[in-house]
Amino acid sequence: MSSNVKSESILEGLSCANCATNIEVQIKNIPEIKNVNVNFALKKLKIEVNNKEELDKVFEEVKVIIKNIEPDIKIINIKESNTDESNTDESNKNIEIIKLCIGSILFVFGLVLNVPTWMELTIFLISYIIVGSDIVIKALKNILRGKIFDENFLMSIATIGAFIVGQFPEVLQLCYFIKLESYFKV
């Protein structure tokens, strides 16, 4: 008699609680699944099936479900993660931190310098492009997939609205909050 087989994976890039719920619900519909849990806070996926052969088949179905719901998620099997992926992830994180630092410097200059409004707008706009452009890009990708009202779309609307009413620092504070929250998750 075969024993149950469990798998645990990290869902890197999972940034939407609703998406996590949708992933869990759809995975539960796979007939071979005995148990599934998507922990949004920890970005972890746990699945349980009857045997190893089922696990391999089910994991392929799980990947398809996740990519359909949230294409930017990277699925990392904890037991199979390798150093090449972690080096790439570390490099990407370093690039993001550099972008955040450059954007922060521009943000401080925009706050401190007493310049004409058009120059202040230019400084904050450049900082926004450096720091917040990925939020707008994700929103546009999600709109094309029919997912309009997610956090990226709402943040894009909020930041564009803040630019329109001339609250340039507010735009960047929203972006920095999102970025810092994603970098320093517990």
Which residues of the chain are in CATH 3.30.70.100 domains? 5-80
Fold of 5-80: Alpha-Beta Plaits (3.30.70)
Query: Averaged over 93-105, what is the pLDDT?
Result: 84
pLDDT tens by residue, 162-175: 888 888 777 777 67
Burial bucket for residue 11 (CB in 10 Å: 0-12, 13-18, 19+)? buried
The pLDDT value given to residue 180: 66
Give tens-digit pLDDT for 17-46. 888 888 999 999 988 888 899 988 888 899
What is the reported pTM? 0.54
